[in-house]
């Protein structure tokens, strides 16, 4: 047997066991048919000389036998990467169209390789390692029996996290071209159906709400066919046991590192086997693979937890903030920002911008972001996209002057772009009518009066690079908000041959990634925040290029409780763009106290999105306090372990907390949506503390042991009067109330 650090191979039986201290993943090569049979994925099991005991296929009818295969049809075999047409009638992981027009493939195991570390994927975002001992990668190579096509399955297991990443690669060593009509990143056959399917669904201004439904026989899939991941379904699913809570029991997470059309599907067959598949949406997808070419699918990050949803989320947070996010800002505190969008919309001039910036700088804000409306003649949303030159009517002294003034105030300066879009009133459109995505001669829809540039065309990407580069070389820009406000409807590129139209969606997103890459290579210091009409492209692919993402255009504190709670299922708190905005709220008209707005935004990147000059003195004092408070706890918020305690989807009271890695301090957010007269006492049981540490509770002068805080909890009552000071919100006999509690270990801990 060959023992690699995290991968054990039984050469004789051709069994592969990927294992670390918490998980095991086992599969083998079938003797006769040379197919890959899946044997186990879940909590760590002991390594065994033979895993034959995991094989389950006795007593099944042996009809539809594949010539030369094992005792049973492939329908009864749990597989690693199933094909169609060879006696498995479930959905396949891939489909290749052969020159004759058929889709029958037969890939057989060829060989394998094991590497230390984790290779990157050309042109696609992915998680990474910093040193080779952090992970081990297994590549299994299969060869088609009907062509010179190769399929390579990549598996990387991380040493210290319950994480396995998977992806597939297709390689054409033939002299013919073949069409990949479906190419999922991974497939997994779990031997049961006793799961709930969790996913994040929503719409504009109500992103990432958690949905949970029991699996049943048949197929359930979530997907996007909009050219971006979109706000309707996030590229994430989890299979949790019916009894799984935030704190306990099993859950399997699947998250796709991709920003384009995706599909995640679970198919439960009549034998209660659940086939999970994830990857590029096969709908309208077809990729011509020419001789000598390879096709890389995006990676799926699989997380296993047997301690509930919180542990799954903590694993994603840990991996994504440390080994997906990259660059200068990965490990740095992010600037507290103010964005002028909800303050001015399109109506501003230099004086107004500088007035907001000046006031904000005095209150402690670090970064001023100039949002939409600074270019062309953009007074409404019906023009100028694609004309990235400053509007001298609004900013007569140019962007450079604004940037200099703002830097002189001691602040950083950020700018909004929407590079993928064009308006018809621009030269860019007039000179290049064939640069928009549409089918010539057919109707082309617009969204927000704008059209989508064909980012599958390198010339288009070059043009946008040049336009943006010109600004970035002349003006000191520290931050870019990269927006994207509509989706691809009539998908067609005049730049692609008719048999390559099925490549457009994927080529489009590769073009988007390439522009990010080029800009970031030249300007590594710039902090990027991506955005798509709020959280319409909040996905791991974007996180690779932008350490923070605007979570939603809905800035109402109550709505944000659900949006941020759901987003935290996968994405680290340090990535969740969250701002305090004005009241009545522009999206829902609700009046929530400024404290509550601040207490919600604190669990994110933190900033403001209102006309700060219009706040009264008392509110400005609160802003100063909020910023001080955020900055004091910023490192804890950025690096701590996040626990969801009480769900806004289930109760009027909401709770969450962040504990520092050494458990010496924690910040707790507690929110009460509506006031409830003479209500039962609310106790919030904390998690993740050291039971024997004695923590001081702020505000107040109480000391409590971790064991007590976890088992008895913090009491929130309607009549609380004793703990009023800066950390408490207004009198709690009101709707939309909140409290932030900070606890810190001051020594004097318990020992037997
Ligand atoms: C989108 C964004 C907003 C703002 C506007 C500007 O809706 O989500 O934050 O930037 O565009 O047009």
pLDDT in tens, 565-610: 999 999 999 999 999 999 999 999 999 999 999 999 999 999 999 9
Are 95 and 181 contacting, i.e. CB atoms less than 8 angstroms apart?
A: yes
Report yes or no: 275 and 269 within 8 Å, Cβ to Cβ.
Answer: yes
- The per-residue pLDDT for 3 is 60
User: Class of the 337-550 domain?
Assistant: alpha beta
Per-residue pLDDT band for 701 (boundaries 50, 70, 90) equals: confident
Q: What is the pLDDT of residue 481?
A: 98
pLDDT tens per residue across span 363-388: 999 999 999 999 999 999 999 999 99
Percentage of the chain modeled with pLDDT above 70: 95
**Chain region(s) in the chain for CATH 2.60.40.1180:** 643-745
Mutate which of 483, 487, 610 for ligand 1? The one with the most ligand atoms within 8 Å of its CB, which is 483
Among the atoms of ligand 1, which is closest to the Cα of residue 481?
10
Can you give the pLDDT at residue 57? Answer: 75
Which residue's CA is the nearest one to ligand 1's atom 11? 533
Confidence bin at 678 (pLDDT 50/70/90):
confident
Kindly tell me if the per-residue pLDDT of 714 is higher than 70.
yes
pLDDT at 546: 98
Q: How many other β-carbons are positioned within 10 Å of the β-carbon of residue 229?
A: 28
CA of 571 to the centre of ligand 1 (A): 21
The whole-angstrom separation of Cα 389 and Cα 417 is 11
Q: Which CATH superfamily is domain 2-323 in?
A: alpha-galactosidase from lactobacil brevis (2.70.98.60)
What pLDDT is stored for residue 64 in this prediction?
64
Structure tokens at 292: 């000598």
For the stretch 304-356, pLDDT in tens is 999 999 999 999 999 999 999 999 999 999 999 999 999 999 999 999 999 99
Looking at per-residue pLDDT, the higher value among 4 and 170 belongs to: 170
pLDDT: which is higher, 284 or 86: 284
735 is catalytic: no
Ligand 1 centre to CA of 713 (Å) is 40
**Positions of CATH 3.20.20.70 in the chain:** 337-550
Q: Whose CA is nearest to atom 12 of ligand 1?
A: 372
**In whole angstroms, what is the distance from residue 621 CA to residue 600 CA?**
18
pTM strictly above 0.85: yes
Give the atom of ligand 1 at the shortest distance from the alpha carbon of 371: 10
**Span(s) in the chain for CATH 2.70.98.60:** 2-323
121-160 b/e with 16+ CB inside 10 Å = b? beebbbbbbeeeebbbbbbbbbbbeebebbbbbbbbbbee
Average pLDDT over residues 638-664: 97
| pLDDT tens figures, 27-36 | 999 988 899 9
Of all protein residues, whose CA lies closest to atom 1 belonging to ligand 1? 533
Ligand 1-lining residues (CB < 6 angstroms)? 341, 371-372, 416, 483, 485, 531, 533-534, 550, 553
User: Given the CA of residue 534, which atom of ligand 1 is nearest to it?
Assistant: 8
Which of 366, 371, 425, 483 does the annotation list as catalytic?
A: 483
Exposure class string for 633-647: b at 16+ Cβ within 10 A, else e: bbebbbbbbbbbbbb
How remote is the CA of residue 206 from the centroid of ligand 1, in Å?
15
- Is 2.60.40.10 the CATH classification of the domain at 643-745? no
Please state, for a pLDDT cut of 90, what percent of the chain lies above it: 90
Of 79, 293, 260, residue with least CA distance to 170? 293
**Around Cβ 662, how many Cβ atoms within 10 Å?**
9
- pLDDT above 70 for 265: yes
Q: What is the largest CA-CA distance in the chain?
A: 82
Sequence-ordered alpha helix ranges (H) in 298-380: 308-323, 341-344, 350-363
* Ligand 1 mean position, distance from CA 204 (Å): 11
pLDDT, position 631? 98
Q: Are 152 and 140 in contact (CB under 8 A)?
A: yes
Q: How far apart are CA 740 and CA 603, in angstroms?
A: 10
The band of 717, judged by pLDDT with boundaries at 50, 70 and 90, is low
C-alpha distance from residue 528 to each of 334, 513, 575 (Å):
11, 13, 11
- Predicted pLDDT of residue 677: 81
Ligand 1 atom closest to Cα of residue 532: 8
Residues 6+ apart with CB under 8 A from 293: 171, 172
- What is the distance in A from the centroid of ligand 1 to the CA of 469? 22
Res 721 pLDDT > 60: no
**CB-CB contact of 154 with 168 (8 Å):** yes
Q: E strands of 521-621, at which residues?
A: 527-530, 548-550, 576-577, 579-581, 607-609
pLDDT at 726: 40
User: CA dist 453 to 263, 285, 346, 513, Å?
Assistant: 24, 19, 23, 14
Average pLDDT of the segment spanning 621-639: 98
List the structure tokens of 669. Answer: 């957010």
pLDDT at residue 658 tops 90: yes
Measuring from atom 2 of ligand 1, which residue has the nearest CA? 533
* pLDDT of 727 above 50: no
357: tokens are: 């910036």
The confidence band for 692, taking pLDDT boundaries of 50, 70 and 90, is: very high
Q: What is the mean pLDDT of the chain?
A: 95
Comparing CA positions, the residue from 197, 562, 608, 168 lying closest to residue 371 is 608
Pair of tokens at residue 503: 């490549």
Active site residue 462: no
pLDDT at 752: 62
Which tens digit of pLDDT belongs to each residue from 479-538?
Answer: 999 999 999 999 999 999 999 999 999 999 999 999 999 999 999 999 999 999 999 999
Atom of ligand 1 nearest to the CA of 416: 10
Task: Choose, from 88, 553, 599, 690, the residue flagged as catalytic.
Answer: 553
């Amino acid at each position: 047997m060959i023992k690699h650090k995290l991968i054990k191979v039984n050469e004789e039986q051709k069994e592969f066991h990927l294992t670390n201290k918490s998980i095991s993943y086992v599969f083998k090569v079938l003797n006769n048919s040379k197919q890959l049979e899946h044997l186990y994925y879940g909590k760590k099991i002991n390594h065994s000389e033979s895993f034959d005991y995991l094989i389950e296929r006795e007593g099944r009818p042996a009809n539809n036998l594949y010539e030369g295969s094992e005792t049973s049809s492939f329908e009864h075999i749990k597989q690693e990467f199933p094909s169609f047409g060879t006696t498995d009638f479930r959905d396949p992981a891939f489909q290749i169209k052969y020159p004759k027009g058929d889709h029958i493939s037969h890939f057989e195991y060829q060989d394998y390789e094991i590497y230390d570390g984790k290779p990157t994927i050309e042109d696609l975002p992915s998680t990474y390692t910093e040193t080779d001992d952090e992970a081990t990668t297994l590549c299994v190579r299969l060869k088609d029996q009907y062509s010179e096509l190769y399929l390579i399955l990549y598996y990387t297991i991380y040493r210290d996290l319950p994480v396995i990443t998977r992806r597939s690669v297709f390689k054409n060593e033939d002299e013919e071209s073949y069409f990949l009509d479906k190419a999922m990143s991974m497939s997994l056959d779990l031997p049961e159906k006793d799961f709930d399917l969790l996913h994040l669904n929503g719409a504009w201004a109500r992103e990432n709400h958690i949905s949970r439904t029991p699996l049943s026989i048949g197929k359930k899939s979530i997907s996007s066919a909009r050219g971006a991941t979109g706000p309707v379904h996030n590229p994430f699913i989890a299979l949790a046991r019916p009894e799984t809570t935030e704190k306990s029991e099993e859950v399997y997470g699947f998250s796709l590192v991709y920003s384009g059309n995706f599909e995640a599907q679970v198919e439960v067959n009549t034998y209660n086997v659940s086939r999970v598949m994830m990857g590029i949406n096969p709908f309208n997808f077809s990729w011509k693979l020419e001789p000598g070419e390879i096709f890389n699918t995006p990676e799926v990050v699989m997380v296993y937890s047997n301690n509930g949803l919180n542990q799954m989320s903590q694993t994603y947070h840990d991996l994504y903030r440390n080994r997906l996010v990259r660059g200068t800002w990965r490990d740095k505190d992010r600037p507290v920002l103010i964005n002028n969008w909800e303050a001015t919309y399109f109506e501003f001039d230099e004086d107004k911008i500088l007035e907001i910036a000046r006031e904000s700088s005095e209150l402690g804000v670090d970064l001023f972001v100039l949002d939409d409306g600074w270019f062309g003649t953009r007074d409404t949303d019906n023009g100028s996209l694609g004309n990235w030159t400053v509007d001298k009517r609004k900013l007569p002294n140019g962007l450079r002057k604004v940037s200099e003034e703002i830097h002189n105030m001691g602040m950083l300066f950020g700018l909004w772009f929407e590079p993928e879009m064009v308006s018809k009133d621009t030269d860019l459109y007039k000179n290049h009518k064939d640069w928009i995505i549409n089918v010539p001669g057919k109707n082309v829809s617009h969204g927000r009066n704008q059209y989508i540039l064909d980012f599958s065309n390198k010339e288009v990407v070059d043009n946008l690079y040049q336009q943006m580069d010109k600004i970035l070389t002349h003006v000191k820009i520290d931050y870019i908000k990269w927006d994207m406000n509509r989706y691809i409807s009539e998908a067609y590129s005049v730049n692609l041959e008719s048999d390559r139209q099925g490549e457009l969606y994927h080529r489009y997103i590769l073009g988007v990634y390439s522009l990010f890459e080029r800009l970031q290579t030249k300007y590594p210091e710039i902090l990027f925040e991506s955005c798509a009409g709020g959280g319409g492209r909040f996905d791991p692919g974007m996180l690779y290029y932008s350490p923070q993402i605007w979570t939603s255009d809905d800035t109402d504190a109550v709505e944000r409780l659900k949006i941020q709670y759901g987003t935290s299922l996968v994405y680290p708190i340090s990535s969740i763009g969250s701002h305090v905005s004005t009241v009545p709220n522009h999206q829902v008209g609700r009046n929530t106290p400024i404290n509550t707005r601040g207490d919600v935004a604190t669990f994110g990147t933190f900033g403001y999105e209102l006309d700060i000059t219009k706040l009264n003195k008392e509110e400005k004092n609160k802003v100063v306090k909020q910023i001080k408070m955020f900055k004091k706890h910023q490192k804890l918020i950025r690096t701590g372990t996040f626990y969801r305690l009480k769900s806004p989807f289930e109760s009027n009271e909401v709770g969450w907390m962040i504990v520092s890695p050494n458990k010496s301090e924690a910040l707790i957010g507690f929110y009460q949506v509506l006031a409830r007269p003479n209500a039962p006492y609310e106790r919030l049981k904390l998690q993740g503390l050291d039971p024997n540490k004695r923590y001081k509770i702020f505000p107040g002068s109480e000391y409590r042991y971790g064991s007590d805080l976890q088992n008895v909890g913090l009491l929130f009552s309607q009549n609380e009067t004793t703990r009023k000071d800066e950390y408490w919100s207004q009198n709690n006999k009101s709707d939309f109330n909140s409290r932030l509690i900070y606890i810190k270990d001051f020594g004097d801990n318990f020992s037997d």
